[in-house]
Amino acid sequence: MTESSSLAGWTSEDFTDAGITHQLFTRGSGPGVVLLPEVPGMTPEVMGLADHLVESGFTVTVISLFGDPGRPLSPGYALASTARACITREFRALATRADRPVAGYVRAVARRLHDRTGGPGVGVIGMCFSGGFALAAAVEPVVLAPVASQPAVPFGVTPGRRGDLGMSDEERDTVAERVRSEGLCLLGLRFSEDRLSPPDRFRSLRAAFGDGWLPIVISSRAGNPAGIGTGAHSVLTHPDAGTPGHPTHDARAEVVAFLRDRLTGAGTAVHTGGALRNAPLDPPGQERAGG
């Protein structure tokens, strides 16, 4: 998929809130979903996920948080984009228990999209660098389906950072209250051997949000049946996410089912393994077989 073709059909506009401006790309119809790209930005792979969500019946707004919209992934591009993101105050990539300005911006975009689509609320999906931003966005009442795929910020260079939730204490408390009083659920995904998205973070999220935290951990241990490498990181944009029967394909299906369920008021069941069951998905430490 080329740079131009990956953006075909998407309407773009600038949006400013609290002094932060980013370009928004929107397409589709149905309940609203805000998609936050992973580093280096809105690559063809990220836009492939966005198109999949549109085809699944959602109105999707992609926020161009970093990088050049539509630019293909390359090692140099990823390195340069990561370096810029790490020194940007909006993201506070190394801070712990931090109130990040970007989370407030994402909440404003969520409200804006909900004003357009209506319905019970909207979903927010973050990946890698942006994973925790999606969870912190759940402070906003219209956010009913927060999804964090391989959340990596703050970078786990110390034990404290590896277990950090990626949000401030005040945001944690607000989200936890929504879990208790509203039945809010937060969906998380990672590969079992992924060091960029450490298991300590998922354990901390379970401790903070209890059964409101729904983890999907896909086995990437050596010799797993699906042949997933031990260095695998990106779940929803994995090269095999479009291949029926692959664990990452199933993970995409679970995310779509979670969004549909939460944004259409259908109840508390989520899709897993070809059937619907009630949350939570996996107890701490349990992994999907990977095939």
Per-residue pLDDT band for 283 (boundaries 50, 70, 90) equals: very low
Pairing of β 122-127 and β 143-149? parallel
Residue 289 clears pLDDT 60, i.e. is over it: no
CA distance 197 to 233: 8
pLDDT value of position 162 = 97
CA distance 24 to 35: 10
Is the CB of residue 201 less than 8 Å from the CB of residue 162?
A: yes
Residue 268 clears pLDDT 50, i.e. is over it: no
Residue 139 clears pLDDT 90, i.e. is over it: yes
Ramachandran quadrant class, 262 (left: phi over 0; alpha: psi -120 to 50; beta: rest): alpha
Residue 77 clears pLDDT 90, i.e. is over it: yes
**Which residue is it, tokens 């970078």?**
155
Per-residue pLDDT band for 280 (boundaries 50, 70, 90) equals: very low
DSSP string, 133-173: HHHHGGGSTTEEEEEEES---S--SSHHHHT--SS-HHHHH
pLDDT value of position 5 = 84
CA distance 166 to 96: 7
pLDDT value of position 2 = 54
